[in-house]
Amino acid sequence: MTYTDLSEQILRKQSYLCVGLDTDLRKLPHHLLTEPDPVFAFNKAIIDATADFAVSYKPNIAFYEAQGPRGWESLQRTLEYIPADCFTIADAKRGDIGNTSGLYARTFFEPQAAGLNFDSITVAPYMGRDSVMPFLDYEGKWVILLALTSNPGSADFQRLVTTSQLDGGMAGGGGDYMSENVAMDQLYQTVIKTAQTWAGPDRMMFVVGATQTSELSRIRELAPDHFLLVPGVGAQGGSLAEVSRRGLTKAGGLLVNASRSILYASDGLDFAAQARTEAQTLQKEMALYLAERV
Amino acid sequence: MTYTDLSEQILRKQSYLCVGLDTDLRKLPHHLLTEPDPVFAFNKAIIDATADFAVSYKPNIAFYEAQGPRGWESLQRTLEYIPADCFTIADAKRGDIGNTSGLYARTFFEPQAAGLNFDSITVAPYMGRDSVMPFLDYEGKWVILLALTSNPGSADFQRLVTTSQLDGGMAGGGGDYMSENVAMDQLYQTVIKTAQTWAGPDRMMFVVGATQTSELSRIRELAPDHFLLVPGVGAQGGSLAEVSRRGLTKAGGLLVNASRSILYASDGLDFAAQARTEAQTLQKEMALYLAERV
């Protein structure tokens, strides 16, 4: 899917909602457990219920892997079922040396490999450029790079102050660190800057947790046109209003993910109807923010 | 497997060889392709041929995932076949928010989840403490954290100079960065230091690429007792001699991985015999370095 396609869909549906398919077999409504593939039966009902209000679906791969081979079959069926106009995200957080990243790219992007054909994949940046590029070798596919995540551990490394000047300086007293031509950024900012030399906004997005609103304006400065995938609204406590005010662009520029609040809105026979209501509530709120933005 | 068990096995076998099972269907000897599970047939032959000389096996999960559901079945069969005295590593480079990392931990550590029971898993540190701890909740299981990897992209972020002092200082001219109580490290060094507050050498190892020998002595200072998992000898150009001289400890302290040089020593009927020869050559060299060390 192209940047323009995604942007147009957002304006048409008046929504930038991504539904996270973190489908946990242990949380499914009991009446589904007798289905031949309960995870797919659940996902199918959720997709049917929410597709009017969502522009993207994001299966969290951990939930499928934890079921072994049959989990991969549920994932294949789910991905095939997602409407073609919705942007699909493999939330896999992969990243390895080049030939291994290349295999992960095959897995998620080449249908004849593992039966999957996602539009995009989330990737961890720690291993650098050659761990990311193999995903970009697939024309039309996207990398969604972790930048500033929503969890408490994001403070451990992502927010460390870094300098790109590696040699010299400190042993002699650190004077170089005061000169103006040394870049001082938090690690996640360096990630955002560096990754823009690998691909443009038409092929790359960044993950920014909804709990990190204080940083969102700075991130928008660094990456004015990139889509941001924003998890953490709802169960994790992020504010949709704050995220939207700081993150929306003319093209949309946001995919805000909600998982548990939609999937598990009810654990009864009405789970799909309740999921629909929840998704519609978010969409209506998003329509307001889209209108405010213009 | 405990630290002591692993150390004793190294001294008994006079080897710290880890065989990386990066089994690529496209590279298998042709005569195996008629087997019901060619990947497992290959791995079984490689394990039989090398178990006298190896203390550890490391399936690279990307290679199995790229086959879809049947790849997971090959992985299950392979893991069950690895001798019980060998240390098993899921080279998966996972890492996500807590509840998702918890599911990855279930996948690789709980046999009743996905049919896998690895001793350890490789984890990317970018998301910090709460992305790593769920793996350590499994008693007796190990985390092998990426520190300084073997690929060119390791320079992009891992070697950035970081300071743990986030606020204050720079805006006012950077004077704080010269004071002695501010830690200035490369990111990978900060990762090694920080991660030691999460678990001791009995539960955590670090990945250090064999191409990074100039940093190995510094890493040994930072983590004198931790095992280091060292990929990159052979195809990637790292030197076993250099790695061993700088990395070995009294307890062993190294797992040096070789993948392609062993797996694809021959693509003919003699592939297992050639793999055995290659593994034995590495083991003999390792025995010399173990002797030198004392």
- Tell me the residue range of the domain where A77 lies: 3-293
Over 90: is that where the pLDDT of A28 sits?
Answer: yes
Size of interface A-B (CB pairs under 8 A): 216
CA of A70 vs chain B CAs: smallest distance (Å): 7
Mean pLDDT of A252-277: 97
Over 60: is that where the pLDDT of A193 sits?
Answer: yes
Name the one residue in this structure whose structure tokens are 């099972």: B21
Is A104's CB within 8 Å of B62's CB?
yes
CA of B195 vs chain A CAs: smallest distance (Å): 10
CA of A211 vs chain B CAs: smallest distance (Å): 13
Over 50: is that where the pLDDT of A240 sits?
Answer: yes
Over 50: is that where the pLDDT of A129 sits?
Answer: yes
- Does B2 lie at the interface with A, CB-CB under 8 angstroms? no
- Give the model's confidence band at B184: pLDDT under 50 very low, under 70 low, under 90 confident, else very high: confident
The complex's ipTM? 0.93
Per-residue model confidence (pLDDT) at position A82 = 98
Mean pLDDT of B247-276: 96
Reduce the DSSP state of residue A162 to 3 states and report it. strand
Residues 6+ apart with CB under 8 A from B273: B49, B266
User: What is the spatial distance between Cα B27 and Cα B22, in angstroms, rounded to a whole number?
Assistant: 10
Residues in chain A: 294
- Give the model's confidence band at B106: pLDDT under 50 very low, under 70 low, under 90 confident, else very high: very high
- A123 or B182, which is more confident? A123
- Give the model's confidence band at A172: pLDDT under 50 very low, under 70 low, under 90 confident, else very high: very low
CA of A207 vs chain B CAs: smallest distance (Å): 12
Query: How far, in Å, are A29, A46, B202 from residue A272 at the CA level?
Result: 10, 6, 47
CA of A62 vs chain B CAs: smallest distance (Å): 6
Per-residue model confidence (pLDDT) at position B237 = 76
User: What's phi and psi for A99, nearest 5 deg?
Assistant: -70, -30
**Burial of A97: CB neighbours in 10 Å, binned 0-12, 13-18, 19+:** buried
Q: What is the CATH number of the domain that holds B272?
A: 3.20.20.70
Average pLDDT over chain B reads 93
Chosen from A73, A96, A122, A189 to mutate, greatest number of chain B CBs within 10 A: A96
Per-residue model confidence (pLDDT) at position B180 = 52
Residues 42-71 on B with a CB inside 8 Å of A are 60, 62-63, 65-71
User: What is the spatial distance between Cα B36 and Cα B59, in angstroms, rounded to a whole number?
Assistant: 20
How does DSSP assign B82-119, residue by residue? S-TTSEEEEEEEE--SHHHHHHHHHHHH-HHHHS---S
Contacts of A97 in chain B (CB under 8 A): 149-151, 236
The rounded percent of chain B whose pLDDT value lies above 70 is: 93
Per-residue model confidence (pLDDT) at position A173 = 41
Answer for the pair A121, B145: CB distance below 8 angstroms, yes or no: no
User: What is the spatial distance between Cα B231 and Cα A195, in angstroms, rounded to a whole number?
Assistant: 25
- Give the model's confidence band at A268: pLDDT under 50 very low, under 70 low, under 90 confident, else very high: very high
Chosen from B73, B104, B161, B167 to mutate, greatest number of chain A CBs within 10 A: B161
User: What is the spatial distance between Cα A61 and Cα A79, in angstroms, rounded to a whole number?
Assistant: 12
Mean pLDDT of A270-283: 98
Is B67's CB within 8 Å of A131's CB?
no
Contacts of B168 in chain A (CB under 8 A): none
**Burial of B12: CB neighbours in 10 Å, binned 0-12, 13-18, 19+:** exposed
- Does B36 lie at the interface with A, CB-CB under 8 angstroms? no
Contacts of B100 in chain A (CB under 8 A): 22, 60, 62-63
Task: Read off the amino acid at residue B79.
Answer: L
Alpha-helix residue ranges (DSSP H) falling in chain A? 3-13, 38-50, 61-65, 69-81, 98-109, 111-114, 129-136, 154-157, 187-195, 213-222, 240-247, 260-263, 271-293
- Does B155 lie at the interface with A, CB-CB under 8 angstroms? yes
Over 50: is that where the pLDDT of B169 sits?
Answer: no
Answer for the pair B147, A100: CB distance below 8 angstroms, yes or no: no
Over 50: is that where the pLDDT of B166 sits?
Answer: no
Per-residue model confidence (pLDDT) at position B13 = 98
Answer for the pair B54, B12: CB distance below 8 angstroms, yes or no: no
Mean pLDDT of B234-249: 89
Of A126, A129, A174, the CB nearest to B178: A174
How do residues B65-78 score in pLDDT, each as one tens digit?
999 999 999 999 99
How do residues B14-49 score in pLDDT, each as one tens digit?
999 999 999 999 999 999 999 999 999 999 999 999
List A27, A44, A58, A93, catalytic entry: A93
Is B95's CB within 8 Å of A98's CB?
no
Of A103, A114, A128, the CB nearest to B156: A128
Per-residue model confidence (pLDDT) at position B176 = 46
User: What is the spatial distance between Cα B163 and Cα B161, in angstroms, rounded to a whole number?
Assistant: 7
Answer for the pair B39, A73: CB distance below 8 angstroms, yes or no: no
How do residues A62-109 score in pLDDT, each as one tens digit?
999 999 999 999 999 999 999 999 999 999 999 999 999 999 999 999
Contacts of A155 in chain B (CB under 8 A): 128
Into how many domains does chain B fold? 1
- Does A128 lie at the interface with B, CB-CB under 8 angstroms? yes
Contacts of A153 in chain B (CB under 8 A): 127-132
Over 90: is that where the pLDDT of A169 sits?
Answer: no
Of A62, A178, A186, the CB nearest to B107: A62
Per-residue model confidence (pLDDT) at position B182 = 67
* Type and span of the H or E element at B9: helix B3-13
Helix and strand counts by DSSP (H, E) for chain A: 13, 10
Per-residue model confidence (pLDDT) at position A212 = 87
Closest-approach residue (CA) in chain B for A180? B173
- B203 or A166, which is more confident? B203
Per-residue model confidence (pLDDT) at position B134 = 98
**Burial of A178: CB neighbours in 10 Å, binned 0-12, 13-18, 19+:** middle
User: What is the spatial distance between Cα A63 and Cα B92, in angstroms, rounded to a whole number?
Assistant: 15
Name the one residue in this structure whose structure tokens are 């103006």: A180
- Does B191 lie at the interface with A, CB-CB under 8 angstroms? yes
Mean pLDDT of B90-103: 97
- Residues A162, A163, A168, A169, CA torsion sign: negative
Closest-approach residue (CA) in chain B for A107? B66
Per-residue model confidence (pLDDT) at position A127 = 98
Question: How many CB atoms are located within 10 Å of the residue B67 CB?
Answer: 22
Mean pLDDT of A191-203: 98
Reduce the DSSP state of residue B270 to 3 states and report it. coil
User: What is the spatial distance between Cα A242 and Cα A216, in angstroms, rounded to a whole number?
Assistant: 9
Chosen from A58, A160, A208, A257 to mutate, greatest number of chain B CBs within 10 A: A160
Reference A194, options A120, A131, A100, A118; nearest CA is: A131
- Give the model's confidence band at B148: pLDDT under 50 very low, under 70 low, under 90 confident, else very high: very high
The rounded percent of chain A whose pLDDT value lies above 70 is: 93
Per-residue model confidence (pLDDT) at position B36 = 97
Mean pLDDT of B160-172: 60
- Does B172 lie at the interface with A, CB-CB under 8 angstroms? no
Task: Read off the amino acid at residue B113.
Answer: A
Residues 201-240 on A with a CB inside 8 Å of B are 236
Residues of B with catalytic roles: 93
Over 80: is that where the pLDDT of B220 sits?
Answer: yes
* Type and span of the H or E element at B156: helix B154-157
User: What's phi and psi for B112, nearest 5 deg?
Assistant: -75, -10
Chosen from A122, A165, A177 to mutate, greatest number of chain B CBs within 10 A: A177
User: What is the spatial distance between Cα B122 and Cα B132, in angstroms, rounded to a whole number?
Assistant: 10
